[in-house]
Amino acid sequence: MCGRTGQAVGEAAIAAELRYDAGLLSLGAWAGATDDELIAHCREVASVIPSSGSTCSPRSRRVLPETFWRRFLEIPEVVAIKVAPFDRYRTLDVARALAASGREHEVALYTGNDDSIVAGPPDRPAGGGGGARPALPRRPARPVGGVDAASGGAGRGGAGRAGAARAGTAALLARGAALTDANAALFDAAHRLRRCLPGIHEALRRQGLLLGRWCLDEREELSPGQMEEIDRVHRRYPQLRDDEFVAAHLEEWLR
């Protein structure tokens, strides 16, 4: 639900009429706004349809602090937060705010923390808790959807011997490093994510899921050097691609 309040409320009404369960709030049109203005906007939109917040990536040039997320979680109609700031510290801000809210069992976390995919949001309490900032939740606030929801529990339990567990952990860490490297190319990390959309489109184009990497904004193209980076990670990490699976189903999906 994008734009200023009038537009976002209108989009929320359409989503509600179409029987969507919730809407995702975009604050991209609120550059320079105060937290008070943002919260007032979110409250008005959430009164129309249950709403999910979203951490802002560097592409938006807006960092939402922990104080904002604490206030955001006071809105009763908030049901989820999409945590994808490309910044581990900003992920911790959301986790602490959720812990302070007492709503761990009401608000879902959806993830895409692309610089720390396998590690994902924290699932253990921070030590202490006597300071002004709350510790992380003692009950794991694990993600229920998104990029790393499936991998979040991998490697914990089920290992018969310590050696096997260590090997599994090492494999997961290696996979995490590979994913971070690959996503840096696709999401254009070298240019503060400015050309993430054509980067993602290029990956889908290579699999036949898109005919081209065009965007609504015709000026939106790959950054200088981004194609070379995509070529590099495409060659280096064949294990991360699902080309065979896509090829096996492409005709069926496009029928």
Which tokens in the block code for residue 181? 């490297």
Residue whose tokens read 């009763």: 76
Which tokens in the block code for residue 56? 């802002």
pLDDT confidence of residue 3: 93
**Measured in Å, how far apart are the chain's first and last C-alpha atoms?**
30
Give how far the C-alpha of residue 108 lies from the chain's centroid of Cα atoms, to the nearest Å.
12
pLDDT confidence of residue 120: 62
Per-residue tens of pLDDT for the chain, all 255 residues: 999 999 999 999 999 999 999 999 999 899 889 999 999 999 999 999 999 999 865 555 678 999 999 999 999 999 999 987 777 888 889 989 999 999 989 999 887 666 777 766 555 444 444 444 444 444 445 556 665 544 433 333 444 555 666 668 888 888 888 988 998 999 998 998 889 999 999 999 999 999 999 998 989 999 999 999 999 999 999 999 999 999 999 999 988
pLDDT confidence of residue 114: 63
pLDDT confidence of residue 35: 95
Do residues 99 and 136 touch, judged by C-beta distance below 8 A? yes
State how far the Cα of 204 lies from the Cα of 198, in Å rounded to an integer: 10
Opening angle at CA 197, ends 233 and 148, nearest 5: 65
pLDDT confidence of residue 129: 41
For the domain 5-146, what is the CATH code? 3.20.20.70
pLDDT in tens, 166-210: 668 888 888 888 988 998 999 998 998 889 999 999 999 999 999
Rounded to whole angstroms, what are the CA distances from 167 to 101, 111, 121?
A: 37, 25, 22
